[in-house]
Structure 1
Amino acid sequence: MPRASVIMSVYNNAEFILEAIHSILIQTYTDFEFIIIDDGSTDGSAYLISQITDPRVVKIYHSENKGLVASLNEGLSMATGEYIVRMDGDDFSVPDRLAVQISFMDQNPSIDVCGAAYTTTIGERAKVNPIGHDEIKTWLLFHCCICHPSVIMRNRMIHRLGIQYDINYPHAEDYELFNRLAFQVQVANLPICLLFYRQHDRKVSIQHRNIQADTARRVRQQQFYKLGLELSDEENQTMVELLEFRINPKDYASYSKASGFARWVLDQNSLYKIYNQELLNAAFSRCISNLPYQ
Structure 2
Amino acid sequence: MPKISVIMPVYNNAPFVQESISSILRQTYADLELIIIDDGSTDGSTGMIYDIHDARVKKIFHPVSLGVAASLNQGLDIAQGEYIARMDGDDIAALNRLEVQAYYMDQHPDIDVCGTAYTQNYLGPVRVNPLDHEEIKAWLLFYCCILHPSVMIRKSSTERVGIRYDLNYPHAEDFELWTRLSFSGAKLANIPHNLMYYRSHPGQVSNTHRLAQDHSAKRIRQRHLSHLGLQLSEADYEQLIKLAEFRVNPHEIESYQPAAILANWIVQVNSQVKAFNQEALQMAFSRCLSRLPPY
Q: Give the TM-score taking structure 1 as reference length.
A: 0.98
Equivalent residue, structure 2, for 1:151: 151
Equivalent residue, structure 1, for 2:266: 265
Equivalent residue, structure 2, for 1:175: 175
Equivalent residue, structure 2, for 1:133: 133
CA apart distance, 1:185: 1.2
CA distance in 1, matches of 2:44, 2:224: 41
RMSD over equivalenced CA pairs, Å: 0.8
Equivalent residue, structure 2, for 1:54: 54
Equivalent residue, structure 1, for 2:228: 227
Q: What are the superposed Cα offsets for residues 124-155 of structure 1, whole Å, 9 maximum, x if unpaired? A: 22100111111111111111100000000001
Q: What are the superposed Cα offsets for residues 150-205 of structure 1, whole Å, 9 maximum, x if unpaired? A: 00000110022332100011111000101111122111101000000000000001
Paired residues of 2:161 and 2:181 also in contact (CA < 8 A): no
Residue 274 in structure 1 maps to residue 246 in structure 2: no
SS of equivalent residue, structure 1 residue 246:
coil
How many residue pairs were aligned?
A: 294
Residue 109 in structure 1 maps to residue 109 in structure 2: yes
CA apart distance, 1:285: 0.9
Equivalent residue, structure 1, for 2:118: 118
Equivalent residue, structure 1, for 2:247: 246
CA distance in 2, matches of 1:292, 1:118: 14
* % identity of equivalent residues: 54
CA distance in 2, matches of 1:262, 1:159: 36
CA apart distance, 1:270: 0.9
SS of equivalent residue, structure 1 residue 216:
helix
The farther-off stretch of 243-252 and 5-14 is 243-252
CA apart distance, 1:213: 1.2
SS of equivalent residue, structure 2 residue 42:
coil
Q: Give the TM-score taking structure 2 as reference length.
A: 0.98
CA apart distance, 1:210: 1.3
CA distance in 1, matches of 2:280, 2:68: 33
CA distance in 2, matches of 1:248, 1:96: 40
* Letter paired with 2:173: E
SS of equivalent residue, structure 1 residue 142:
coil
CA apart distance, 1:286: 0.8
CA distance in 1, matches of 2:245, 2:212: 17
CA distance in 2, matches of 1:65, 1:220: 28
CA apart distance, 1:120: 0.4
CA apart distance, 1:253: 2.1
CA distance in 2, matches of 1:75, 1:157: 15
Equivalent residue, structure 1, for 2:208: 207
Residue pairs, 1:3-152, within 5 angstroms: 3-152=3-152
Residue 165 in structure 1 maps to residue 177 in structure 2: no
* Letter paired with 1:96: N
SS of equivalent residue, structure 2 residue 112:
strand
The farther-off stretch of 152-161 and 189-198 is 152-161
